[in-house]
Amino acid sequence: AQTVTQSQPEMSVQEAETVTLSCTYDTSENNYYLFWYKQPPSRQMILVIRQEAYKQQNATENRFSVNFQKAAKSFSLKISDSQLGDTAMYFCAFMKHSGGSNYKLTFGKGTLLTVNP
């Protein structure tokens, strides 16, 4: 079974600054996906970024980027130029890649990020 650990229950950052959220995972699988989802106060779960384990290059989406260290089983999210709208709960999630037969997401407990003006 896979486990996902987010060691920072809460974090805060000043507007326009950079913040990094940590995530580690445990799996015996070699092919998998990792995701960061954002859940603002509206409770709508929004995909922030995805990473395929077979890709060495770290994924980037505008102000969001990841540091994927496969050997260390680490998957951190960096948010640059933080904005007030980034205030949300952030979840790290794991999904095994198995030819389309398994779509279970395993989530971490989440990190509550507050961006201060």
Partner 1 sequence: KAGVTQTPRYLIKTRGQQVTLSCSPISGHRSVSWYQQTPGQGLQFLFEYFSETQRNKGNFPGRFSGRQFSNSRSEMNVSTLELGDSALYLCASSLPDNEQFFGPGTRLTVL
Segment contacting partner 1 (CB under 8 A): 8-16, 22-30, 72-80, 108-116?
A: 108-116
Nearer to partner 1, 91 or 115 (CB): 91
Residues 3-62 touching partner 1, rule: CB under 8 A, are 33, 35, 37, 42-47, 50
C-alpha of 94 from chain center: 9
Q: Is 97 in the site for partner 1 (CB under 8 A)?
A: yes
Instruction: Please state, in angstroms and rounded to a whole number, the distance separating the CA atoms of residues 67 and 80.
Output: 13
Segment contacting partner 1 (CB under 8 A): 13-21, 53-61, 80-88, 107-115?
A: 107-115
Interface with partner 1 (CB under 8 A), residue from 67, 76, 78, 105: 105
Query: Given 3-state DSSP classes, what are the helix, strand and coil percentages for the chain, each rounded to the nearest 5?
Result: 5, 50, 45
Task: Provide, rounded to whole angstroms, the least separation between the CB of residue 117 and partner 1.
Answer: 27
Instruction: Please state, in angstroms and rounded to a whole number, the distance separating the CA atoms of residues 115 and 57.
Output: 28
CB 51 within 8 A of CB 68: yes
Contacting positions for partner 1 (CB under 8 A): 33, 35, 37, 42-47, 50, 91, 95, 97, 99-110
